[in-house]
Structure 1
Amino acid sequence: MSKLLLHIFLIIALGYAQKNYPADTVLVSPHANIFEKTAILPIAAWQRVSYNSELLACQFYPSCSNYGALAVREYGPIIGTAITSDRIVRCNPFALNYHYEMHGEFHYPDYRLVDSVQVSRPRYTSNKSPLLAAGLSTIIPGTGRMYAGRFLDGLMGLWMVLLPGTAAYGSLKDGQSMKGNFFAGITLIFWLGEIYGAYRTAKYYQGPK
């Protein structure tokens, strides 16, 4: 019954989506497949809340929700969602300080931190190994970012993996398989995001030496 209701919800939501918010342009695009649209649907729903509240305004440009929609459209629902989770981890109270350290650009007139999905080349030469960073976060989430010089981002990443991971373990232990699998999926997404984020941090997010 729950699966049927979910399918009905998705069909109705996709059918009535309009181009009122940025993610909607991808949601109604004939070039996006059903899997991409399903992954973008929560983003479109979130924009209906965040775009109507100054308290939820994102510090990045593009915003995390737009970044996520672009990542899913460019790389597909699985990799795109993992890339989005990396941005969510980096959208924390320490982002501005790290942005200053690498002499990052600002978007005017709102002075948001410019951070594109695709980065063509590093701003500064890095002495950190992206592969080593990714390998470290494969073993222990967050440690790759720490190695790359962003200790606080690493702590945030570790927390974002441990939180749903603990919920998944507890749910599965109590025999709640649906809930456990849901949290396990979130854990996997953030873990993949940590691997990608560690690689990207070591390669692109370095300041002048």
Structure 2
Amino acid sequence: MARPSYGPEAKKRTKRLLEVLLMYAADELGECNESALDALRPQVQIRWQTENRLVVRTKVRFLAALTGLESGQNSLNGEQIKEALKRFEDFLEILEDNRASRGGSETWHFTLKLWYSRWDKEANLRKFDTEWESRRPEKSKLGDKGTRGTRGTRGNCYLVSPIYLVYLVSSLFLSQLATTMPQYPRSTKSKTVNDQSPDKFGWVEF
């Protein structure tokens, strides 16, 4: 089983699903295919239990279709939808799974517990950002910097940034070059033009 991801891309996908659900529940989806939206309404059933508790009953493929309705927005696939739902539940702790049995059924029945009122979408999305970053493991934050190296997932190996690798090789090359170049003594005698005489090739040194 793959390890859970808490990096920027996982955050972006999870936030996208939350935003779409809030807009769908408030009937505020932007420019989209109205006929496609109408076709999805029976498949994505919602009801507000309270001002900040949204109950959803649907299937993953319909949530994926819902994220692709808005023009100019990237849609999520089935695996990304499942990942986002898991992060709602085990990371942000805003999802209550209402299914009697989690296995053998494509239907998802859950309750989203919002931080603020259903009408304040922007406040909920801002809170999503702060909650995500405050709960995010330090190892995940270090992985974003992409500087010297981050620990890999196997053994004790490290993943080195390509930029840092080029810098390291260049530094070693210049250091080696400096130690191998011959050093020529600089003449201390001051010469004038009249003092110069042609060398054996007929050139005058200045």
TM-score scaled by length of structure 2: 0.26
Larger RCO, structures 1/2 (Cα 8 Å, 6+ apart): 1
User: In proportion to residue count, which structure has more helix?
Assistant: 1
User: In proportion to residue count, which structure has more strand?
Assistant: 2
TM-score scaled by length of structure 1: 0.25
Which of these two proteins has the greater Rg computed from alpha carbons?
2
